[in-house]
């Protein structure tokens, strides 16, 4: 399989963690977003959204959207499970993943920030405030979603095992730290971050460890 | 079960369609987004993101995020299936759902539009252009994602049966028409829209048929 990847993309980073967790080895092909490689006709034929990641299967089938790719990997190699079997717990795990993937990440995607700058003439301070606003708004909600009454204790978002919620949270925290977002008031999230930092799968998937890291 | 709902929310509309498809009857409680009811402390205790929909189960368990709720309903009542059993087809269906739920809908959410107006001082024409830009950008990609080489023929996004892709597409088209987005160049999407318009589940879930429609 081939993963079309970019070291700093938090969506691609999620898929890298899932692949590492499941021990699936893929070929990585870098699509340099800052150089606009995602808009080349050859890549658009693969991914009409001009986004990373894309996973190309051995028969040439192309899968897009990080969460759809991770659900596919879960079906392909169920262990270790990233989505719990219990439907209610699965829904809570997916809700955290989606609170990040829908309500934080897309608002701060480079294409959106570029639109703010070029089409709405937003000043640099306005763009910085926008980024931090959606990061904080979303992460403060996640802090409450991962620690509801009666949920299991940590160290991860939903207990003793890594789930899709952790797989989405850690890349979003990498982005939050890049943009100097204050996180000290989010103790559950910081505990999850510390627990994941020790895991080989998360270390291997980190942006700084990728071939295109600069 | 109780669905916290708002007639015009396209995320709530997705869940209404899924409930109708599966024949699950729930109590609807309206959360009036224009009047700010989503920010009341009682609702925030239920949904810390201050978003609709929320599904409250009979034992008081609260589920958030429309796609997580629909995956739960799929586990609770598998027939008719909205997510195909085949993992590759399931990934394609989920990718279309996520292309809408992550990359179109959140950018045009009322809270985001309000931020553009009040914090970035975007003029009305700029906000209208923003809305249509992300709607068109996303729907043009969806047009290509639902008709890849070798995929089954319609009338729905992925063949002869309704899937999660249709459940997400129809509410987004309702929003696109509200904001007068040109769609004539998207023939596959228009064919799906026409096919779904005839189905009782989609008709019953339409915003105009809800108790809070004005």
pTM: 0.96
Q: For residue A27, what pLDDT band results from cuts at 50, 70 and 90?
A: very high
The residue extents of the domains of chain A are 2-80+204-209, 87-199
Residues from chain B contacting residue A101 (CB–CB below 8 Å): 98, 102
Quick check: B52 and B2 in contact, CB under 8 A? no
How far is Cα A125 from Cα A56, in angstroms, rounded to an integer?
39
Which of B88, B99, B112 minimises the CB distance to A49? B99
> What's the pLDDT score for residue A152?
62
Per residue in A155-175, pLDDT (tens digit) is 999 999 999 999 999 999 999
Q: For residue A34, what pLDDT band results from cuts at 50, 70 and 90?
A: confident
> What's the pLDDT score for residue B69?
98
Which of B72, B76, B119 minimises the CB distance to A129? B119
CA angle A11, A14, A17 (to 5 degrees): 155
3-state helix, strand, coil split of chain B in percent (to 5) is 55, 5, 35
Quick check: B6 and B31 in contact, CB under 8 A? yes
Distance from the A29 Cα atom to the nearest Cα atom in chain B, whole angstroms: 20
Which residue would you say has higher pLDDT here, A138 or B214? A138
Under 8 Å CB pairs connecting chains A and B tally to 130
> What's the pLDDT score for residue B152?
62
Distance from the A73 Cα atom to the nearest Cα atom in chain B, whole angstroms: 9
Quick check: A74 and A17 in contact, CB under 8 A? no
Q: CATH code for B87-200?
A: 1.20.1050.10
Helix segments in chain A, DSSP class H: 10-22, 41-46, 66-76, 87-101, 110-118, 124-145, 164-178, 187-197, 200-205
Q: For residue A214, what pLDDT band results from cuts at 50, 70 and 90?
A: confident
Q: For residue A151, what pLDDT band results from cuts at 50, 70 and 90?
A: low
> What's the pLDDT score for residue B214?
72
Interface touch B88/A61, C-beta < 8 Å: yes
Strands A27-30 and A54-56, bridge-based pairing: unpaired
Q: Indicate the class that CATH gives domain A2-80+204-209.
A: alpha beta
Interface touch B144/A48, C-beta < 8 Å: yes
> What's the pLDDT score for residue A162?
97
How far is Cα B143 from Cα B24, in angstroms, rounded to an integer?
30
Q: What percent of chain A has pLDDT over 90?
A: 90
Interface touch A99/B64, C-beta < 8 Å: yes
Distance from the A201 Cα atom to the nearest Cα atom in chain B, whole angstroms: 23
Q: CATH code for A87-199?
A: 1.20.1050.10
From the list A180, A107, A178, A184, the residue with the least C-alpha distance to A138 is: A107
Averaged confidence pLDDT in chain A: 94
Integer CA distances (angstroms), A81 to A26, A61, A70, in order: 19, 24, 11
> What's the pLDDT score for residue B74?
98
Residues of chain B with pLDDT under 50: 149
- CA A65 to centroid of chain Cα atoms: 11
How far is Cα B94 from Cα B90, in angstroms, rounded to an integer?
6
DSSP A203: H
Residues from chain A contacting residue B69 (CB–CB below 8 Å): 91
Average pLDDT over residues A77-98: 97
What three-state secondary structure class fits A62? strand
Interface touch A64/B95, C-beta < 8 Å: yes
Residues from chain A contacting residue B52 (CB–CB below 8 Å): none
Interface touch B71/A94, C-beta < 8 Å: yes
């Amino acid at each position: 399989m081939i993963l079309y990847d970019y070291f700093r993309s938090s969506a691609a980073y999620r898929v890298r963690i899932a692949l590492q967790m499941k021990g699936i080895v893929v070929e990585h092909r870098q699509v340099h977003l800052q150089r606009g490689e995602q808009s080349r006709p050859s890549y658009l034929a693969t991914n009409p959204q001009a986004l990373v990641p894309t996973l190309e299967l051995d028969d040439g089938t192309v899968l897009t959207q990080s969460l759809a790719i991770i659900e596919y990997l879960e079906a392909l190699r169920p262990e270790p499970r990233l989505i719990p079997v219990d439907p209610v717990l699965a829904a809570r795990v997916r809700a955290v993943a989606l609170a990040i993937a829908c309500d934080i990440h897309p608002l701060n995607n480079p294409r959106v920030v570029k639109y703010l700058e070029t089409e709405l003439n937003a000043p640099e301070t306005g763009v910085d405030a926008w980024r931090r606003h959606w990061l904080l708004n979303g992460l403060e909600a996640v802090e409450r979603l991962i620690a509801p009454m009666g949920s299991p204790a940590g160290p991860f978002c939903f207990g003793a095992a890594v789930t899709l919620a952790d797989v989405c949270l850690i890349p979003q925290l990498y982005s939050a730290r890049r943009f100097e977002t204050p996180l000290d008031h989010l103790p559950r999230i910081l505990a999850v971050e510390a627990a994941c930092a020790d895991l080989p799968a998360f270390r291997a998937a980190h942006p700084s460890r990728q071939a295109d890291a600069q």
